[in-house]
Amino acid sequence: MKIASAKDLEKIRKAYAPSLYHPEGIKINVGMASCGIAAGALEAFEKAVEAFEDDDRINVCRTGCIGFCEVEPLVEILADGRPRVLYKNITADKIIEAVEDYQNGASKKKWILGQMRDPRCVLEDDLGNPIDKIEPIEGIPFLEDVPFYKNQVKVALRNCGYIDPDEIDAYIAKKGYLAFIDALHNQEPKKIIETIKDSGLRGRGGGGFPTGIKWATAAKHYGDRYIICNADEGDPGAYMDRSILEGDPHSVLEGMLIAGYAIGSRQGYIYVRNEYPLAVKRLLTAIKQAESYGLLGDNIAGSDFSFHIKISTGAGAFVCGESTALMASLEGKVGRPRAKYVHTVEKGFRESPTNLNNVETYANVPAIVLKGAGWYAGMGTEHSKGTKVFSLVGKIQNTGLVEVPMGASLKQIVFDIGGGVPKKKKFKAVQTGGPSGGCIPERFLDLPVDYQKLAEVGSIMGSGGMIVMDQDTCMVDVARYFLDFLKEESCGQCNPCREGIKQMLDILTSICQGNGKDGDIELLEELGAMVQKFSLCGLGTSAPNPVLTTILYFRDEYEQHIHDKKCCAGVCKELFHYEIDAEACTGCQVCFRKCPQDAVSGEKKKTHSIDQTKCIKCGICYEGCKFDAIKIC
């Protein structure tokens, strides 16, 4: 069947929606993004499929990332007229019991994260369950009251974890492709660009360039215009784009279609990083389905607009996330950036006008076109509108994927939603912006997160990775870590970046090894300023950020490393050793048994000790001690 109008979409929507909201019998949604699968979701899914194969009242389905990755596998169970219940840590051995529990009224409170009367979706205004008529289950919190979900507003993630990503009908049931068809039939391309401009949407890939302005510029230049989606997601610790692609690929395709129509392009490309095979698979399925509905291809929905999308994969080069490098890589070449005297909106891929946006940027577009620029601009702060997806990772209680309105404070994100640092350890910093960003210390926790404010404290919004660091994280080591990363990933074309980063790394390495000397910090600052100023591309100009912000906010740690030859976090091996605190040690022998070097000695129930000559500081005893008896000295 080919879709020709909004009416056709509405038909599909009406036919599919019941299975989303009022399923016959019981529906089980297993969260099957890469992270869920790594936690055992596939086994749980297969187990349930096998167990309920002959039971047509129970329907086992898959969905994307439900967000709360800490307690994956997550399984949502629902039935018509009853609240949906989200179960946590449901591995294969627990899934059958979880389904039985739901059938029996959902009483396993320890397994349950919360209940929902209806999924809160920004685009939804009808067809859902009549909320008031559903009786909540007693004694189980509502998901919107669970701290992790409480302050979240899902726009880019609107369908992630609710629908089956391999089903185009499910996307359409959530008003998918309606924005595009409406734009195509009823709106001039110029008007759409105005809408995107008015919404205040800024690029989510890191730079934060106003999307509407970029589109308008690309539309002005003549030639075969191209639309590219940047799904290279190179920042380590960031997986927002992966989750969107795996959980709601059609939202990205629709965003690209709208961009294609607005700018006047016939061909789109999605450049996906090599490490995301599942995202590629789901995208390929989504493209096929959209083609079979005539939503991609020639003369879409009876109009004279034609648009095709191809997928291309990267091969493990961070610098290929940079726009000009990405385009070189798409052409099958070595991914080296070029100087941008001429912008890619004028001459990009194949020397033609090219519009490049990030995955999350495109995923926002259909929602904006459907609900209007005013609605989107109503969220966020003065210069940063809408919402932003973050991956909360590192030393944090509730790791996961969260989406909040711009302007939410770091404290709200890290502590209210993220639950703070685990194991009663002390919060030290949060790192945003990946290798181009900076480390933000505790005193700025009240900072509202938007493009401006993060820049004011020396960091950047970046693509959305938020890596929380605690007392066990050494800030000098973090700076060294990022430079090591960037040294590997620098393409080597320009001197300031290639040599500057290497020199800075050498200094940092020597500080971490206990050979730091007076003047090193100043030298780092000087070199950093040079690399920032003279590098060719964004990789180099932002490379010193992690070093400069850690020097700015954690100078005392640098001084301790250099002058006292101490690493209080217990990371830099030459600068600390482990000792056993006689008062805290209970002689439980865990460290004695676990030490791979036989460096621990001591009898049962008596204080143990560590032979420093044998100890290799692998940290197994420190991690394993339940009594905090291993001290970093």
Ligand X SMILES: Cc1cc2nc3c(=O)[nH]c(=O)nc-3n(C[C@H](O)[C@H](O)[C@H](O)COP(=O)(O)O)c2cc1C
Of 27-35, 155-163, 318-326, 398-406, which part binds ligand X (CB under 6 A)? Answer: 318-326
The CA distance from 204 to 450, in Å, is: 11
537 makes contact with ligand X (CB under 6 A): yes
Of 124-132, 299-307, 320-328, 370-378, which part binds ligand X (CB under 6 A)? Answer: 320-328
The sheet carrying 26-31 orders its strands as 58-63, 26-31, 75-79, 84-87, 112-116
The CA distance from 389 to 403, in Å, is: 4
Nearer to other proteins, 176 or 337 (CB): 337
The CA distance from 431 to 445, in Å, is: 12
432 makes contact with other proteins (CB under 8 A): no
Nearer to ligand X, 288 or 502 (CB): 502
284 makes contact with other proteins (CB under 8 A): no
Of 94-102, 379-387, 440-448, 531-539, which part binds ligand X (CB under 6 A)? Answer: 531-539
- The two tokens of residue 264 are 């006047």
463 makes contact with ligand X (CB under 6 A): yes
State the nearest-atom distance from the C-beta of 620 to other proteins, in Å: 5
Identify what 70 binds: ligand FES, other proteins, ligand X, none; CB under 5 to 8 Å per kind: other proteins
313 makes contact with ligand X (CB under 6 A): no
State the nearest-atom distance from the C-beta of 236 to ligand FES, in Å: 5
DSSP 436: G
Identify what 469 binds: other proteins, ligand FES, ligand X, none; CB under 5 to 8 Å per kind: other proteins
Binding site for ligand FES (CB under 6 A): 236-237
233 makes contact with ligand X (CB under 6 A): yes
The CA distance from 632 to 509, in Å, is: 21
Q: What are phi and psi of 586, to 5 degrees?
A: -100, 0
The CA distance from 445 to 515, in Å, is: 33
Residues 6+ apart with CB under 8 A from 178: 6, 9, 172, 366, 370
The CA distance from 550 to 560, in Å, is: 13
State the nearest-atom distance from the C-beta of 439 to other proteins, in Å: 11
- The two tokens of residue 577 are 């050793």
The CA distance from 84 to 401, in Å, is: 20
CB atoms within 10 A of CB 316: 11
The CA distance from 290 to 286, in Å, is: 6
Nearer to ligand FES, 8 or 472 (CB): 472
- CB distance 204 to 364 below 8 Å: yes
- CB distance 631 to 621 below 8 Å: no
Identify what 124 binds: ligand FES, ligand X, other proteins, none; CB under 5 to 8 Å per kind: none
State the nearest-atom distance from the C-beta of 309 to ligand X, in Å: 17
- CB distance 175 to 13 below 8 Å: yes
Residues at the site binding other proteins, with contacts judged by CB under 8 A: 34-35, 37-39, 69-70, 72, 233-239, 242, 274-276, 312-318, 329-335, 391, 393-395, 399-400, 431, 434, 465, 467-469, 473, 478, 481-482, 485, 491, 594, 596, 618-620, 623-624
Residues at the site binding ligand X, with contacts judged by CB under 6 A: 203-207, 209, 230, 232-234, 319, 321-323, 356-358, 361, 463, 537-539
